[in-house]
């Protein structure tokens, strides 16, 4: 593992010639949940100036591609809508491949619902936000049979409650019902002081109570990579650079996929995590860097203005 800013010009040339394509995570790399990271649009521009194809890969399905694209452009990233990949797209691709025509019970917000509906899928009714506090009412709202449901998609839902979660668990009792998960973060750091409970905890409850493992379509699952390779027609994985801020999610994903790895320290992972490596050896990135701004500065310094 080497700090990119410690490389000589020759080593940097070697680095930049070793890949044609960049797959970059979004949160923690391009921006933080609630604020920007200075200089990151320039970092992306630098890769493009060097002729690299850039595609963003995010686990965040809480925005539609359209909305995501609008936000990224507004933040200064020069990107097309079809250069953004989220688990929602992988889910749609998977369900279409298996000719899925039943209803999908979704634990997720409007964005992922919209994407699924726009792709032609029917969504089952979710539960109410509140019930009478009786076991009868609880049972009536959660222990229901719905033969039309053929799949449960568990992503992030800020308005998730006991009822909606138990309803999903009830559907999952039928082994024929497909179990798909999106983002499975346990903890979501926002700002400096707060860590939010992540969707992963609720997915774990579903796994425990159903005894089933999901078909995971978010990083670090290799199924997401299957979709990416097919969609982007990636032939030589060694010529792909994956940039991310999470070791357990991004570096793990890139390792399984066989991509080159660049860990940025502008998000989840801090310098201490690199110096005192507590993760599997094979997850170690080839290089790490403070942020994409530094990438821009290095390119400008050695190869001229972007």
Partner 1 sequence: MKDLNALNTHELRAFFDSFDHVLCDVHGVLWNVLETIPGAAAAVASLQNLGKTFIVVSNNTTATLDDYHHDFTSKGFPIKRENIVTPIQTTISYLKKQNFSKEVFVLGTHPLKKSLRDAGFRIAERGPLEIKETFHALAAASTEDDGSVGAVVADIDLNVNYVNLQKAVTFLKRPEVIFIRGTGDARFGVGLDRVVMGPGVFHAIVEECSGREPVSVAKPAPFANEFIVEKYKIGDASRVLFIGDSIPSDMGFATKFGYKKLLVLSGLTKEGALEDWKFPEEYRPDYFVDSLKSVHDLIGRI
| Cα 122 to Cα 113: distance, rounded to the nearest angstrom | 9
Cα 110 to chain centroid distance, Å, stands at 17
| Cα 301 to Cα 5: distance, rounded to the nearest angstrom | 11
Draw the binding track, 16-45, toward partner 1 (x: CB under 8 A; -: no contact).
-----------------xx-----------
**Within positions 206 to 225, which residues make up the interface with partner 1, using CB under 8 A?**
208-209
Rule CB under 8 A: is residue 6 a binding residue for partner 1? no
Rule CB under 8 A: is residue 238 a binding residue for partner 1? no
Rule CB under 8 A: is residue 187 a binding residue for partner 1? yes
Q: By the 8 A CB rule, do 218 and 184 touch?
A: yes
Rule CB under 8 A: is residue 131 a binding residue for partner 1? yes
Taking CB under 8 A as the criterion, the residue among 194, 270, 271, 301 binding partner 1 is: 194
| Shortest Å, Cβ 113 to partner 1 | 10
**Residue 276 is among the residues annotated as catalytic for this protein:** no
**For 190, phi and psi rounded to 5 degrees?**
-130, 135
**Residue 137 is among the residues annotated as catalytic for this protein:** no
Spatial neighbors of 225 by CB under 8 A, at least 6 apart, are 253, 256, 257
Interhelix angle for 200-210 vs 162-172, to 10°?
A: 40
Rule CB under 8 A: is residue 160 a binding residue for partner 1? yes
Q: Which stretch binds partner 1 (CB under 8 A): 123-131, 146-154, 227-235, 284-292?
A: 123-131
Rule CB under 8 A: is residue 147 a binding residue for partner 1? no
Write out the DSSP string of 210-248.
HT---EE-STT-HHHHHHHHHHHT---GGGEEEEES-II
Write out the residues near partner 1 by the rule CB under 8 A: 33-34, 62, 109-111, 129-131, 133-135, 137-139, 142-143, 157-163, 165-166, 169-170, 186-188, 190-191, 194-197, 201-202, 205, 208-209
């Amino acid at each position: 593992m080497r700090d990119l800013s410690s490389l000589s010009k020759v080593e940097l040339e070697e680095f930049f010639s070793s890949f044609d394509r960049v797959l970059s995570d979004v949160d923690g790399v391009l921006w933080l949940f609630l604020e920007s990271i200075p200089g990151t649009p320039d970092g992306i521009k630098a890769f493009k100036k060097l002729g690299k194809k850039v595609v963003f890969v995010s686990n965040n399905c809480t925005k539609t591609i359209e909305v995501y694209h609008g936000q990224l452009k507004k933040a200064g990233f020069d990107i097309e809508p079809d250069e953004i990949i989220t688990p929602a797209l992988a889910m749609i691709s998977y369900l279409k491949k298996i000719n899925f025509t039943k209803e999908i019970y979704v634990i997720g917000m409007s964005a992922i619902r919209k994407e699924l509906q726009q792709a032609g899928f029917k969504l089952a009714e979710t539960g109410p936000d509140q019930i009478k506090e009786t076991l009868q009412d609880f049972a009536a709202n959660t222990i229901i049979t719905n033969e039309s449901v053929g799949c449960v998609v568990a992503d992030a839902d800020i308005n998730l409650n006991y009822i909606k979660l138990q309803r999903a668990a009830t559907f999952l009792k039928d082994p024929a019902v497909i179990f798909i998960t999106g983002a499975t973060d346990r903890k979501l750091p926002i700002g400096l002081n707060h860590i939010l409970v992540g969707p992963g905890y609720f997915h774990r409850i579903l796994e425990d109570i159903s005894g089933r493992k999901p078909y995971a379509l978010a990083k670090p699952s290799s199924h997401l990579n299957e979709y990416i390779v097919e969609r982007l027609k990636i032939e030589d994985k060694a010529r792909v650079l994956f940039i991310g801020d999470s070791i357990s999610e991004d570096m793990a994903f890139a390792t399984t996929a066989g991509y080159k790895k660049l860990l940025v320290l502008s998000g989840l992972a801090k310098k201490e995590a690199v110096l005192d490596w507590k993760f599997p050896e094979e997850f170690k990135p080839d290089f790490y860097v403070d942020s994409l701004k530094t990438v821009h500065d290095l390119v400008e310094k050695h190869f001229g203005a972007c």
